[in-house]
Structure 1
Amino acid sequence: MSHSSPPPAKLAENIPQLMHHLWKPFLHDINATHFLTKEGYYYKYPKDTHRWSQPLRKKLLILDVDTRLDTGPGGIMNKTTLNSKGMTGRTAGMMNHYLYAMIHGYDYRFIRAPSYPNRHGTWVKVPMIREALKTHKIVVFLDADAIFMYPQLPFEWLMRLWNITDNTLVAMANDPNSPRNRDANGQVMQNTGFIIAQQSNRTQELFYDWEQCPTDIKYKGCKRWGKDWAHEQAAFSNHVRYDYNSTEEVRVIPCMDGNGAPYIGDKTCGGVFIRHHWFHKDYPIKDMHQLILDAF
């Protein structure tokens, strides 16, 4: 079928199938050995990386979690028709995640989590990811201000690039290397705005330890991270990861690939594949518009 041919009418009744149909001609081969970015960065697989050669489809979940329900103007849960020019940055971010899931046939969920007593709101992602792992092999969580920059790129391809193996429990990108972003041992913290988690009994143990960290039962001194910045991120980086310190178990994704953006001061954190707009919450709107224009 040529690109100009209209999609079959039956596909129009099913938005996920329609999105997959529209993007199918542009999808990057899951087994391709290299990828050239818009910025001119050339990525090639190392020879010894784990190969994810088959699509995971519904075994992979793209997950959004929040205690807030956006029903105001431009909100994703607004009952009026969504206007691309009036949507909020949070709506654009979640629409990017949902679109990415539809394109590749992954599962998608938005969970409105209950507020966490005596903890900062960002803590809710930890128990929600743990629960989602009971029904999915891979869970990919993103904050609403983090987006997929290349919708045509299968997530299996990225997992191979970052050498996510069968023994990997979680993977997160490093934060920029600055004193503010280091843990008590002087190691750069891993950013929890983008998390890859793989189901296993040991992964369940990790997320349980993480959720329980501020109780101070296992990890003394962790209570402060219930409310102090950087909340669950500081709890993981200062305490939990040191009990799961195998390189394979806790994989570090380069900051250049999975955190930050080109406009920040640290040029080693360019957000090439996952762009994270920490301080510009409206930027996902512009990125979402540009991704659609680039594709069609």
Structure 2
Amino acid sequence: MPSVPQSWRRLLFLLPVLVIALGLATGLYSGSLPKPKFLECKSNDTNPFHNLHDIIHALWAPLVVPINQPTFTTIDGAEKSLPAPEELTHTEKLGRRLLILDVDTRPLSEEGSVFGESLPTWDNLKNPSAGFLSHYMYSLIHGYSYKFIRAPQYVDRAPHWSKVVLTKEMLKSYDFVIMLDYDAMFPTPELPLEWMFNYWKIDKKVMVAMAEDPNGGDNIDLRDKVNINSGFIIAQASENTQALFKDWAECPSEKRYKDCAQWKLKLFHEQAAFSSHVRYDFLDGKSINTDPGYIRMLPCSEANGIPKVKHIGCWGQLVRHYWGDKSKTNDEFSHNVMSALTPLLARAGFGPGGNVDDFRGKYLDGAEVLDQPPSA
């Protein structure tokens, strides 16, 4: 498809979801629910992707969790409860003021990737692109903004460092930036970030929140505290946050942090720099030990890892990170899609107003279907 613009070829990948969504939404919204705008398309509107946001949003609408729902049961059966209503930090949807951000320095142009010459298929989809598509889909479900930044790379550092400065840059335009590595995914796409913010008590004081790494081994910082993991970053815009990310990005220069240059190329790069240096001295000499409200450490069990590594305390109840098995991002993306389609297909096809004729009160007699029992 060399003559078709790249953006159109990527959108065409979602055509099967679009078609299914149209059919489902027609059934789901034929009753008392308001009809979505995309079902009122004018006859001269020939762009099938003009209302893609509405279509994806409608597909998940019956499943989306209210941001103030008192409890939520995770995919592994654990019940999570919000604070009392008067203690909630978010009572309104953030919408486009929240950005879901992907940053990557790789070409991603091979077969099965989002920037390939031909469209990726379900069978050849590469795991980085499965992660990116899941992030984009999640943003559409909840009405968030989304950006993919094809990043330049530092000449003297590992590519991971680029996400620090580019997250900082995006914070100039959005209230919240959620930066995800491609292998960090949402196992329950119906759960909005505002609910998680309420659960984790992300208030106006919090500048950044990240999950803890597994406790032990190489995941211990220079002061014997467990490292953070920067594969899932919640960053809230403020002058203080700009200062924090500036110090973080400049950490290897050692203007403020002695011995930080070692993390330019050494594992765990920007994670280790933040863990061993930045969080112990930020703003005007504040530390996570003296001012823990500015930097929120999220439990590894909830915001890091996957069920396969549950034995080390990290199994991703609310946010998963597949550093333990990156190939499984494709399975997670498949689950993301089918978790919505399965109940909606069942409701549209087999629920009230569906395609079921109930003959259980009838009687069969030879080749006849009778309303009354056949005579003896």
| TM superposition score normalised by structure 2 | 0.76
Alignment map for 1:186-265 (pairs within 5 Å): 186-244=224-282, 245=288, 246-264=291-309
Cα distance in 2 for residues equivalent to 1:274 and 1:38 = 11
Cα distance in 2 for residues equivalent to 1:193 and 1:294 = 24
Tell me: CA distance 1:31–1:144, structure 2 relative to 1, closer, same or farther (3 Å): same
Aligned match for 1:284, one of 322, 329, 333? 329
Cα distance in 1 for residues equivalent to 2:281 and 2:202 = 19
Q: How much has 1:136 moved relative to structure 2?
A: 0.2
Letter in 2 for 1:31: N
Letter in 2 for 1:286: D
Whether 1:295 aligns to 2:295 is no
2:223 alignment partner, SS class: coil
- Conserved in 2, the CA contact under 8 Å of 1:65 and 1:112? yes
Alignment map for 1:40-55 (pairs within 5 Å): 40-47=77-84, 49-55=87-93
Whether 1:136 aligns to 2:136 is no
Cα distance in 1 for residues equivalent to 2:103 and 2:190 = 24
Q: How much has 1:179 moved relative to structure 2?
A: 2.7
Q: How much has 1:79 moved relative to structure 2?
A: 3.4
Cα distance in 1 for residues equivalent to 2:178 and 2:228 = 15
Instruction: Report the counterpart of residue 25 of structure 1 in structure 2.
Output: 62
Aligned match for 2:215, one of 174, 177, 198? 177
- Conserved in 2, the CA contact under 8 Å of 1:170 and 1:203? yes
Cα distance in 2 for residues equivalent to 1:38 and 1:204 = 35
Q: How much has 1:156 moved relative to structure 2?
A: 0.3
Cα distance in 2 for residues equivalent to 1:265 and 1:101 = 28
RMSD: 1.7
Cα distance in 1 for residues equivalent to 2:267 and 2:216 = 15
Cα distance in 1 for residues equivalent to 2:83 and 2:320 = 23
Instruction: Report the counterpart of residue 69 of structure 1 in structure 2.
Output: 107
Q: How much has 1:287 moved relative to structure 2?
A: 0.9
Cα distance in 2 for residues equivalent to 1:121 and 1:272 = 28
Alignment map for 1:137-152 (pairs within 5 Å): 137-152=175-190
2:273 alignment partner, SS class: helix
Number of corresponding residues: 296
Q: How much has 1:183 moved relative to structure 2?
A: 0.3
Q: How much has 1:46 moved relative to structure 2?
A: 3.1
Cα distance in 1 for residues equivalent to 2:333 and 2:154 = 31
Cα distance in 2 for residues equivalent to 1:15 and 1:159 = 27
| TM superposition score normalised by structure 1 | 0.96
Cα distance in 2 for residues equivalent to 1:25 and 1:61 = 23
Cα distance in 1 for residues equivalent to 2:114 and 2:156 = 28
Task: Structure 2: give runs of 5+ residues left out of the alignment.
Answer: 1-25, 31-35, 42-47, 283-287, 342-376
2:297 alignment partner, SS class: strand
Cα distance in 2 for residues equivalent to 1:55 and 1:4 = 23
Aligned match for 1:114, one of 140, 152, 170? 152
Letter in 2 for 1:8: L
Cα distance in 1 for residues equivalent to 2:332 and 2:72 = 20
Q: How much has 1:71 moved relative to structure 2?
A: 1.2
Q: How much has 1:224 moved relative to structure 2?
A: 0.2
1:25 alignment partner, SS class: coil
- Conserved in 2, the CA contact under 8 Å of 1:20 and 1:102? yes
- Conserved in 2, the CA contact under 8 Å of 1:174 and 1:259? yes
Q: After TM superposition, where is structure 1 displaced by more than 6 Å over at least 4 residues in a row?
A: none
Cα distance in 2 for residues equivalent to 1:74 and 1:12 = 22
Q: How much has 1:267 moved relative to structure 2?
A: 4.3
1:68 alignment partner, SS class: coil
Q: How much has 1:265 moved relative to structure 2?
A: 5.5
